[in-house]
Amino acid sequence: MAAKPKSIDEYLAAVTADQRAALEKLRKAIRAAAPRAQECISYGLAAFRLDGKPLVAFGATASHCAFYPMSSTTIEAHQDELMDYDTSKGTIRFPAAKPLPVALVRKLVKARIAENAGGRGVKRLGAKDTKPSRRKLHPPDDGAPIPSPRNVT
């Protein structure tokens, strides 16, 4: 890509025809799963934001297309469904000739929406439920005077 794209349409215009077809399918599935999401360019990739937060992105290189859930948690939580794809911490790579299934894309986008809404949708594998500590800010009121640092012996 010679010039930096300013829109997803410009991004798609710069990739090969087979990559464009695969990425348009991905774009359509993302829009269906997140109709309120706004299209943008983020880190040079075609991306979507929802409520001002990054949601997902997609792109293409010379050798593959990629879907970026922008969350390692989402990829970890869907490992079994992603076994047939080359994945890393935040990327799902696929050949243009074999686009991601629409149902899988929708599931991943919905998981990201839930995660962005406060982590209610996807739980990190192995994560423990923890509650914030409840430190007592005041000593118990048992009637005894509280010594000041000056008069402690």
Residue 49's H or E segment, with its range, is strand 45-50
| Residue 106 belongs to a domain | yes
Strands 53-60 and 65-68: antiparallel
pLDDT digits (tens, 9 = 90+) for 28-60: 999 999 999 999 999 999 999 999 999 999 999
- Give the three-class secondary structure for 22: helix
Q: Which residues of the chain have pLDDT under 70?
A: 1-2, 119-153
State the pTM of this model.
Answer: 0.75
Domain-located, residue 153: no
Is 37 within a domain? Answer: yes
Structural domain containing residue 65: 8-116
CA 111 to centroid of chain Cα atoms: 8
Q: What is the domain-level CATH number for residue 50?
A: 3.90.1150.200
